[in-house]
Structure formats: structure tokens, C-alpha cells
Structure 1
Amino acid sequence: MPLNIFQDKDGLPRIILTEPKGSSAEVLLYGGQIISWKNHRKEELLFMSSKANKKQHKAIRGGISACLARFGDLSSLEQHGFARNRMWSLDRDPSPLPPLDNQSSVDLILKSTEVDLKTPCSFEFRLRISLNAGKLILIPRVRNTANKAFSFSFTLCNYLSVSDISEVRIEGLETLDYFDNLLNRSRFTEQADALTFDGEMDRVYLHSPTKIAIIDHEKKRTFVLQKKGMPDAVVWNPWGKKAKAIPDLGDDDYKIMMCVNSAAIDTPILLKPSEEWMGYQELSTVSSSYCSGQLDPRKVLYGFH
């Protein structure tokens, strides 16, 4: 499908993806960031901060963005990511990925530069974003173009729109070990049958399943996150006190958002010269009733469509 590219009122080049069922996605070339994903009912599925700074040279808080960092940099994931602060280009040669005839998609590329001291090494970072009915698919690829190996950590940061954070539950992370970034990365084992929120949370769940369900009871909607090549999952919500301290986040925004991120953090991704790493993330939504209780885990958490 042809791409619709235009500059918005902030002067940022923007790509609009649409598909026949009526859903849409908006992608900024700056940061390679997805700032909107709407279903066929025109309901926004991604969260965007009420104080989002849409000026260039600063990542926008919200949507979906890719963070690539030197392995061993254990500072907040929200502070990671030179890729989120660079202008990407359209990738005219996305090989070896095949063209997609039945999906609306865009291929982006970001190449390292000699003057960019924040990059981990010489590389090519490619990102395919594809929109299908009820699905948003991201395929990140990083190729080592240097003559020496390097390692890095990676995350796709997904800001999801929810009705009320206190009414949301996450299924699929039970019994897993996790690092708690609020307690100096102390390691614990998840004891709850499902993850719920009653305060600030910043955790890295290790060796998480290929599918995770985020159930929003009030909206009767479930996000299904499917991922490959990114074994960890990050769950983050700043809650009230921390939200007030974040300049580009509204004081009450924490109530209607959450981050559930696909990540490779605990074990580095190591690339030898000319090697390429590829990940995969698929976000989809299914209807779920407040009265239905847990969804069928065989269908949501383990079954592949």
C-alpha cells in the first residue's frame, strides 16, 4: 500500500498507516516512534502524555518507541535510547524481510554516525512497522557493521491506554523471577496469580512467556502482547508521587496508562561483525467481559493465531 507522509503542525514528518477494516497507526520519522494506534472504532489504544513535548530533539512520552543501549547500562529504561532522539529514514532495501502485500507497513532505518558518541558501535538499526486488522507488528533488527563484536540491551517501550490502572490485571508473569528497580534491582519471585497495581511499579520479569495478557475490565478489552527474541518483560507505572516529578507527564496520567515492554535486558545480545539480531512484537486486542473472569489461558497466553 502507498505511504501517506506529511508534516504535522509541529514540523515533524509523519507516516499514516491504514488498513481496510478501519484501523490506523501514526509513525514519526523522528525517533521511529509510533504515536497513535486506533482500532476500527477509532478508539485510541496507545497512551500519550497530556504534557507530551512534541518538539524535535526530545523523545515524546507515550506511544511505542525502541530503546537500544550499551549492555550494562542499568539506569532507567525511560532514559535509554539515542534511537528515540534521532531522525530515521525510510528503508528502501529492507531485505531479507519479504514485502507485505496484505498489510500496511513501513520500513525504517537508522545508521550510526562517527560523531554520535552515544551509539554502542557501528551498526544499522532497522524497524518494520506493520498494521493489520486488530494487530500492530514491530520487527526490529540490529546489524553489526563494525570489525569487532559488541553487546547491547534492547526494549520496545509500549505505553498502553487503560481505563483505570487500579482495574487492570496482567496474566502470564506469575511464578517468574523479577528484578525490582525500586529496591536496587533486588531479585524476587512473583507470588500473585495475576499482577495488579496499587502503587508505583518498575520491574524486569525474566524469561517471560511469548504471550502476555493485559486485561482492562472496565473497557472489556484485553491487550495480547506476543514477542520473540526479547525474553524479558518490563512493567512500569510511576503512580502519583513519581508522576508529579516527571515534567512531561500529567499529574493524573498514571491512572490511564501502563507500560508493558518487550525487552532483552538480563542477558546481552551479542553480535559479531556482520551478524544481525532480529526481534518480533505483535500487539493485538480481544474483547473480554468484566464478568468472564480470567480468559482462557490456552487461547490468550499460549496459543498462536
Structure 2
Amino acid sequence: MTFETLTIDGAPAVRLQGPHGDSVTALLRGGQVISWIDASGTERLYCSPLSPLAGPQAVRGGVPVIFPQFSGRGPLMRHGFARTRDWALADTPAGAAHPTLVMRMEHSAAETALWAHDCVCTLAVALEAAGLRITLAVHNTGSSALSFHAALHTYLEVGDVTQATLTGVLPQGEVLSLAEPIDHLFESVPGPFALRSPASALDMAHEGFTDAVVWNPGPQAVIADLPAGGYARFLCVEAASVGVPVQLAPGAHWQGCQYLVTAA
């Protein structure tokens, strides 16, 4: 296992190299994973080449951390502030079973009247034998209860989304076709999920999160930081808690994880 800090296109970053040739790279801005290369040398995440890594906008691709607000469901900026804030490297837990990168963000109630709560968010990114596990944890360090949405807005490389299928979000094992644009919150879906496409065979599971969001804008969408035809390269499958916001008492902890496993 090797660990290095680096700068990519002007953005401070960190890279963790696993024992099997796999690696994960994350930006300290947003605590955002932007690359996961599996043991076969295959990049499993999509990151738009037109999206500046150093900001000021959120990076389009990888795994943006959505917190404490999903989309426009509240008074804050779209998808909340976590994905544009600076995170700090933190110590890996003693005795961690797998190579793990940990980042941490603190938020003070004094920072914005729109979300006046004290909390600490921690993101742990672990390279496991056959996949990637990302765990988001929230600790309410204030004296009042807080309510939030959370999601890992994962952009998965699929090669051609119109040829991709996803199972696990529809009842009775029905297959979700992705030939058309989609932007849908699937509430109370426990998973697991299976994504099959020309460029990707991934099995996915989540814990702690209650919902899944599936998004692809389709060919008609005009998105400034996405190249022409770029929509076809990715599918977002997000582990999320949105339908019913998380309620956290003073001093309490919450965590949710998303596990991506390469499939045959």
C-alpha cells in the first residue's frame, strides 16, 4: 500500500495505491473521489474532462458528497455545501482491515443561518479485495437536533448508457432499461443492485442509506461542463437518504456506506 499527496490541475489531492494494482484518487476540495482504478487496471468512475478540478463549481464526476441538502429540497445551494468545502486528511483507524483513506470536514452553526448546526462529517474510502467501499459518517456535535439529506452521487463509467441495464431498484427483479434519460429517486430500496453495460459490470450494495437515485441527462441536455456525447459515458447510481431525512440527536452519530464490487 502506498499513499501520496499531489496536485492535479491545481487541485490538492491524495492517492491511495492498493496491494493488487488498484488505486483511488480523491480531491481534498469536496472530499471527492475522482478515480477508482480496479485491480485489472480499469477506470470505473467517470469524470468530465471539461470540469475544472480546482473549482469554484463542484466537479462533475467521480463521487460528489451530497450533504446536508439534496438538490433544491431546502434553502441551501443545490446539493448542499459539502461538495465545495475543503476537507482535511484524517488518521486511518487503527487496525483497518483494508487500505483506507479518511477525510474530515467540520461545519459550525455560525457559518450560515440557513443551516445553523455544528457537525463533523467523515469520509472513509477503502480499497477492498474486489471493490471500493465509501462510508460517510455524520456526528452531531451541537446541542440541538439536526435533520439532513445525504447521498454519494456516484458517476459510473458505462461506455454507452443506452446499452446499460440496472436491476435492484424495481420490484420483483425487473430490469431498468436506461435507453432514455432518467432522473428518479427510488425510495426504500435495500438493494443489492447490478449494473451491466458495454464498459462495466458492477454489483452494488448500500448500508445505512435508505434510497437510490438514478440519473442520466440524455442527449438533449445542454450542460456546460460536459462534452458533446459525454452523457453516454456515465450513469449515476447514488446511495442516498432523501425521501425521509435523517434525524440526528445532539451527540449522536449516523453513517451510510456504498460498496462497489467488480463482477465477472
User: Superposition pairs for residues 293-304 of structure 1, below 5 Å?
Assistant: none
- Residue 259 of structure 1 corresponds to 236
Distance 1:61 1:270, change over 3 A: same
Contact 1:155/1:262 (<8 A) preserved: yes
Give yes or no for the alignment of 1:202 onto 2:197. no
**Residues 188-239 of structure 1, C-alpha deviations (whole Å, 9 max, x = no match):** xxxx8200122221000011123111111x23x4211110111100000000
The 1:120/1:283 distance shift into structure 2, 3 A limit, reads farther
User: Aligned match of 2:193 in 212, 217, 220?
Assistant: 212
Please state how far the C-alpha of 1:249 moved relative to its aligned partner: 1.1
Partner deviation per Cα, 1:247-281 (whole Å, 9 max, x = no partner): 11112111111100000001110011101101111
Structure 2's unaligned 5+ residue stretches are none
TM-score with structure 2 setting the length: 0.92
Tell me the equivalent position of 1:163. 159
Structure 2 counterpart of 1:215, one-letter code: R
Q: Does 1:272 align with 2:249?
A: yes
Distance across 2 between alignment mates of 1:31 and 1:91:
14
| 1:275-304 Cα deviation digits (max 9, x unpaired) | 1101111111111xxxxxxxxxxxxxxxxx
The partner residue of 1:106 within 101, 109, 121 is 101
Deviation, 1:106, is 1.3
Matched, 1:20 2:34: no
3-state SS of 1:240 partner: coil
CA distance in 2, matches of 1:278, 1:224: 21
Deviation at 1:81, TM superposition (A): 2.6
Aligned to 1:255, the other structure's residue is in SS state helix
| Identical residues among aligned pairs (%) | 29
Number of the residue aligned with 1:186: none
2:231 aligned counterpart, secondary structure: helix
Q: Is the 8 A contact 1:23 1:134 kept in 2?
A: no
Residue 50 of structure 1 and its aligned partner are, at CA, apart by 2.9
Structure 2 residue aligned with 1:229:
208
Q: How many residues align?
A: 262
- Equivalent residue runs for 1:30-49 within 5 Å: 30-49=29-48
Please list every run of 5 or more consecutive structure 1 residues that lacks an aligned counterpart in the other structure: 177-191, 288-305
Partner of 2:169: 173
1:143 aligns to 2:139 (yes or no): yes
Q: Which amino acid aligns with 1:38?
A: I
Select the structure of larger CA radius of gyration. Answer: 1
Structure 1 stretches of 4+ moved >2 Å? 55-58, 69-75, 113-120
Kindly provide the amino acid, as one letter, of the partner of residue 169 in structure 1. T
CA distance in 1, matches of 2:69, 2:6: 33
Structure 1 residue 109: Cα displacement: 0.7
Structure 1 residues 141 and 253: CA distance shift in structure 2, 3 A: same
TM-score, normalising length: structure 1: 0.80
Amino acid at match of 1:196: S
Q: For residues 204 and 5 of structure 1, what CA distance do their matches in structure 2 show?
A: 36
